């Protein structure tokens, strides 16, 4: 009895928090539009939405490819200005005629003074070619694409709160300037935006990382399945597949009958080529070794 009382009085220690690590490898990933059922898509999305509204370029053509090269990644601390500008794209929707004025009131100094928090990230530097049905141009479409991988998934909730607070603060000023106000985002909407913009890169272990993100953002429409995110929307379901490096390599849209109406998968042509070359090289190397040994044995006999 005394032992039970003693044990129950010991305070429960918190479960050890997971340590996440980045899994990126430098190199290039190519994605290809493998399936697009135009009729099925139009039946499902009667609001005129098309795949290129989500992904840009020629993403509404089967066989169109997109390429991303991972250049490097390093430890960094992002400030509020970088979060708002690079993740939420607060400058992108401002019309050119009002941009200078907007910049005078919304800039690094004004934002970091009001919102001084910093967020620990692995800052990864990408080069991107948009979806292209013909051969890729030599020059990329975006040479300096910065994507942060948050070391603590809880920070995603913090930056969403930061954005919503800033938007509420800013919208009255924007309305006076006759600029469209910034939308207030829910957790589901924020995660969907990150996925569509390609700004969600995962840290290992991926399933725990995704679970923690969904918990923190209070997502109701999203669930995790191994290394995939499943978005269950009203008219469609989307499965977003992540590679062993944590980058987005697959995007599958299902209609209400669970039929695939749009699919983007990873293009493995280069990997297949290198593996084939390796196999052929090994076979030739083996033949050469055998030939040299037979030749050496013949010489010995002579």
State the residues that interact with other proteins by CB under 8 A. Answer: 22, 24, 26-28, 30, 67, 69-74, 125, 127, 138-140, 143, 269-270, 273-274, 277
Q: How far is the CB of 208 from other proteins (least distance, A)?
A: 22
Q: How far is the CB of 202 from other proteins (least distance, A)?
A: 16
Cα–Cα distances in angstroms (integers) from residue 49 to residues 46, 54, 60, 221, 292, in the given order? 7, 9, 11, 20, 65
Q: How far is the CB of 81 from other proteins (least distance, A)?
A: 23
Q: Which is nearer to other proteins, 168 or 275 (CB)?
A: 275
On the 0-12 / 13-18 / 19+ scale of CB atoms within 10 A, 189 is: middle
Alpha helices in 147-252 (DSSP H): 154-176, 187-197, 206-217
Q: Which is nearer to other proteins, 122 or 251 (CB)?
A: 122
Structure tokens at 233: 């929307």
With b for 16 or more beta-carbon neighbours within 10 A and e for fewer, the 14-25 pattern comes to eeeeeebebbbe
Q: Which is nearer to other proteins, 140 or 181 (CB)?
A: 140
Q: How far is the CB of 280 from other proteins (least distance, A)?
A: 12
Q: Which is nearer to other proteins, 95 or 281 (CB)?
A: 281
Q: Which is nearer to other proteins, 187 or 198 (CB)?
A: 198
Q: How far is the CB of 89 from other proteins (least distance, A)?
A: 22
Please give the angle made by the CA atoms of 256, 262 and 268, to the nearest 5 degrees: 140
Placement of tokens 């924007």 in the chain: 174
Residue 107 to residue 54: CA distance in whole angstroms = 28
């Amino acid at each position: 009895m005394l032992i039970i009382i003693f044990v129950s009085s010991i305070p429960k220690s918190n479960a050890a928090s997971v340590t996440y690590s980045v899994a990126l490898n430098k190199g290039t990933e190519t994605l290809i539009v493998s399936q697009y059922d135009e009729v099925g898509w139009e039946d499902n999305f009667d609001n005129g939405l098309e795949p290129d509204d989500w992904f840009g370029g020629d993403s509404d053509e089967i066989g169109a490819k997109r390429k991303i090269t991972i250049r490097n990644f390093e430890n960094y601390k992002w400030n509020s200005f970088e979060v708002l500008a690079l993740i939420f794209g607060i400058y992108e929707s401002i019309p050119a005629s009002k941009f200078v004025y907007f910049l005078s009131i919304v800039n690094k100094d004004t934002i970091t003074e009001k919102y001084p928090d910093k967020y620990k990230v692995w800052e990864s530097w990408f080069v991107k070619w948009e979806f292209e049905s013909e051969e890729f141009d030599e020059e990329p479409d975006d040479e300096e694409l910065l994507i942060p991988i948050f070391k603590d998934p809880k920070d995603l909730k913090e930056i969403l709160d930061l954005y919503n607070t800033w938007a509420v603060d800013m919208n009255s000023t924007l309305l006076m300037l006759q600029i469209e106000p910034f939308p207030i985002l829910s957790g589901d909407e924020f995660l969907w935006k990150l996925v569509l913009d390609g700004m969600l890169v995962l840290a290992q272990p991926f399933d725990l990382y995704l679970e923690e993100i969904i918990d923190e953002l209070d997502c109701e429409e999203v669930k995790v399945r191994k290394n995939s995110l499943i978005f269950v929307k009203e008219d469609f379901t989307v499965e977003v597949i992540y590679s062993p490096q944590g980058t987005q390599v697959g995007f599958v849209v299902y209609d209400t009958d669970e039929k695939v109406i749009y699919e983007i998968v990873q293009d493995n042509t280069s990997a297949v080529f290198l593996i084939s070359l390796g196999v052929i090289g090994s076979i030739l190397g083996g033949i050469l070794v055998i030939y040299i040994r037979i030749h050496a044995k013949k010489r010995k006999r002579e």
